[in-house]
Amino acid sequence: MTFASDRVTAPSRQATPSRRGLFAGVAAGNFLVLLDTSILNVALPDVRSDLHASRAALPWAVDAYTIVFAGLLLASGAVADRFGARSVYRGAVLAFGALSLLCATSPDAAFLIGGRALLGVAAAGMVPASLALLAGLYPDPAERAKAIGTWAAVTSTGLIAGPVLGGALVELGGWRLVFLVNPVIVAVTLLMSRGLPSGRPDSVRKVDRAGIGLSVLALASLTFGLIDAGTEGWGRPLPLLALALAAVTFAALFVVERRATAPILPPALVGLARVRADIVAGAMASFIFYGVLYALTQWMVEERGLSAFETGTAFLPMTLPMCFMPLLTGRLVARIGARRVILAGLALDTAAGGVLAFASNDTPLALVITAQVALSFGSTLAIPAATADMAIASPKELAATGQGAFNAGRQAGSALGVAALAPLATLSSSGTVLAAGGLLALLLVAAVRPAPAAV
């Protein structure tokens, strides 16, 4: 599949003002996606008080977003390839704004959880489509790597701003303001993205409806089972049934995809060792990052007695480097190649887990900050480098599908990180798990001999 609007000559080294504006329109939507990943966490006590929600219901106000987001990323990549990245992206942004208003009016916890799940649908529509749009705006691989680094830096500010902005909004007027800020950003995003190429495909790729349905069910069941078991305990039948359903559905997906004429994960994509290595790197880097975010949040609140706003600001050493490191990562990828950058990032992530493995309840904050800094630099090397490499390694007609697979792996890794660490009683045990996972990913990626980039 090629887009008529994509048949342009390689751009100059300096982006034109028009292209900068279009880039901003693409980045702003993904800023929203990451903002809503973290902004609600610090507002949960106010949600509980206002809606009289049970303690068990609160995690699902956060996790419903992640579960649906992860489950639909593969499907949304295929849909963007089918209907055009621009249409899918702008439609998802508009839906995100409308659903945010719906969440702000929630009369009870169940309504809020449902609204957050629908927000996950809209978020899943943005990410693969936006990266496919970047591939069209920056057809030169070196420029694309730098652009994706800038995109990652800009959008990562959403994750950085989430805890601090959420705490400030709760103090200003309550948890509902957390959702009312989104429509303002949506309006700006739609305005800036008006001039994006229409992206109408010259040829139409069939949508594998069976594959989409099975992949959504499998990923959602797996994520639900792991998170529910991690937060509520493994001694109940519900998470075990969810994991059993996930295993059966993954097996059915394997059988169906082997017979499909247009599989949701085409062999031309997953057959590339370079693509597989990128997915592994992105999944494990996200596993470690969000696992540390979860473990440290629990430690700071329960062991150090910090408030929600204080906890959010305490993560600044971990999140601030995201403002500039992806820019450097894009340049490093262009200069020395993605593989070396990914391996360096995974090594730093592993080291961060190793530092926390020696932590205790009396650990000085200086040691925790050391782990945060190592993790921040590691994640902002590995994830943007793998993202950029996926854009280069994927065949152009499968650009959105490739990014959907990559980001589905990342979201699954995020959910697994939280689920794996939730039952652990100490920060040191969490660090040990994270260090072991990082080392395993480092060895797996290092062992892969990637094929040349797809064309």
- The tens digit of pLDDT for each residue in 59-74 reads 778 778 877 887 777 7
> Predicted confidence band at 425 (pLDDT cuts at 50, 70, 90)?
low
Note whether 355 and 371 are within 8 A (CB). Answer: yes
The angle, 0 to 180 degrees and rounded to 10, between the axes of the packed helices 85-104 and 58-83 is 160
CA dist., res. 33 & res. 156, Å (int): 10
**pTM above threshold 0.75:** no
pLDDT at 171: 77
Q: Which two tokens stand for residue 397?
A: 């007609």
User: Mind listing the pLDDT tens digit for each residue in 348-372?
Assistant: 999 988 888 888 777 777 788 888 8
By CB atoms closer than 10 A (0-12, 13-18, 19+), residue 12 is: exposed
Residue 16 or residue 370, greater confidence: 370
Q: Reply yes or no on whether the pLDDT at 13 is more than 90.
A: no
pLDDT given at position 102 = 95
Helix axes of 209-232 and 58-83: crossing angle, nearest 10 degrees: 160
Q: How far apart are CA 84 and CA 133, in angstroms?
A: 9
| Mean pLDDT for the chain overall | 79
Rounded average pLDDT over 242-255: 90
> Which residues are within 8 A (CB) of 22 and not within 5 positions of it... i.e. 6 or more apart?
137, 192, 193, 195, 196
As beta bridge partners, residue 201 has 3
| Digit-coded pLDDT (tens) for 107-150 | 999 999 999 999 999 998 898 888 788 877 887 777 877 787 77
Nearest to 139 by CA among 6, 48, 231: 6
Residue 450 banded pLDDT, cuts 50, 70, 90: low
Kindly tell me if the per-residue pLDDT of 200 is higher than 90: no
pLDDT in tens, 145-169: 778 777 777 777 787 777 778 878 8
Give ∠ CA 427-428-431 in degrees, rounded to 5: 90
Give me 173's structure tokens.
């007027």
Angle at 429 between CA 424 and CA 432, to 5 degrees: 130
Asked whether the predicted pLDDT for residue 286 surpasses 60, the reply is yes
Q: Is the dihedral of CA 307, 160, 432, 366 positive or negative?
A: negative
pLDDT at 398 over 80: no
pLDDT of residue 251: 92
**Which residues does 12 contact at the CB level (< 8 Å), separation at least 6?**
none
Angle among Cα 13, 14, 18 to the nearest 5 degrees reads 130
The phi, psi pair for 447, rounded to 5°, reads -80, -20
Min mean pLDDT across 23-37, 285-299, 313-327, 332-346 is at 313-327
The Cα–Cα gap between 25 and 217 comes to: 32
The b-or-e profile of 209-247 (16+ CB within 10 A means b, else e) is ebbbebbbbbbbbbbbbbbbbbbeeeeeeebeebbebbe
